[in-house]
Amino acid sequence: MMKKPIKITITGSTGHIGYSLLFKIANGGMFGPDQPVDLMMLGVYPGAGSMRVGLAMELEDCAYPTLNSMSSTTDLDEGFSGANWIIMLGCAPRKKGMERADLLEMNGRMFIGQGHSIAKNAADDVRILVVGNPCNTNAWIAMNNAEGVPADRWFALTRLDENRAKAQLAKKAGVHVGDVSNMCVWGNHSNTQFPDFFNAKICGKPATEVIADRHWLENDFVHIVRNRGAAVIEERGASSAASAASAIVDTVQSIINPTPDGDFHSIGVCSDGSYGTQKGLITSMPIRSDGKNVEIVQGLEINDFSRKAIDASVAELADEAATFKKLAF
């Protein structure tokens, strides 16, 4: 028996990630085969109306039983009205010659407006996953402009980094990627992030025991994960799309389903000050869920190597926040 439909709003749905993601949501791949969805495609890019129409036609032609309805708009209030989940793909892209402050200003205007509209129109149980980069700071901007929406409803995508890290550890150890667990990527979704191999496990054993090559772990592994996105662009001439869409599905499922005993996942959340991170920033942490609420996993060992790496990434987030605060809106 089908459940009551839930409304999913996707901003920037006509991009490469959106094209990969929408069909996963519509066919039950995100919320399950018994959960119908009402899809709302909220346009944030001018001139993309015909692309949204084409997407809607393709979704209609798939005849998915779980796709209850779909609609499209460029009006924020209409798009966020009654939304139970909001996945924010849309953002201002960084262009040649653009400074970080320029990017923050462009995205700031966008995410301030979206934050206001979410607070005014979304469902009481709304949850928001920000994907558009810089996703941590974009989530922080929107969260701080969405009065009344609890901080624990806001998330930033770092599961793609976790998945990349797991794949590299599995490849090095010669095991299946499913044998890698407890992989936390700390900090910012940038090339300062820290994929924590010290707390990771391979076949239930510490990764540092299975992979004895400490030089590879501390250097090659960290470098590969941090720069994987750039490497994909170099090879295919475009940023990660299918893998990002897959990570979005993984993230949502990690939030709405109980985490397996003893494991955790990476999600950008509003820091409560755990592990010495700056309270209030959206930073990637080890997260568990009971299927309804998420919590930051406590008690992980942080050695000197990890401490230095985590602090550097969180400092970058603090710098982004400080830069944004200096901008006049």
- Indicate which residues carry an active-site annotation: 189
Strand 85-88, strand 205-206: pairing: unpaired
Lookup result for tokens 């094209």: 19
Q: Look at the alpha carbons of 232, 139, 107, 46 in this order and tell me if their dihedral is positive or negative.
A: positive
Strand partners, 41: 10, 72
Residues 6+ apart with CB under 8 A from 262: 181, 182
Q: Residue 58 has which token pair?
A: 């393709």
Q: Is 299 exposed, middle or buried (0-12, 13-18, 19+ CB in 10 A)?
A: exposed
- Nearest C-alpha neighbor of 42 from the set 73, 8, 85, 87: 73
Could you tell me if 32 and 73 are in contact, meaning their C-beta atoms sit under 8 angstroms apart? Answer: no
Place of tokens 């301030």: 112
Give the separation between CA 9 and CA 77, rounded to whole angstroms.
Answer: 11
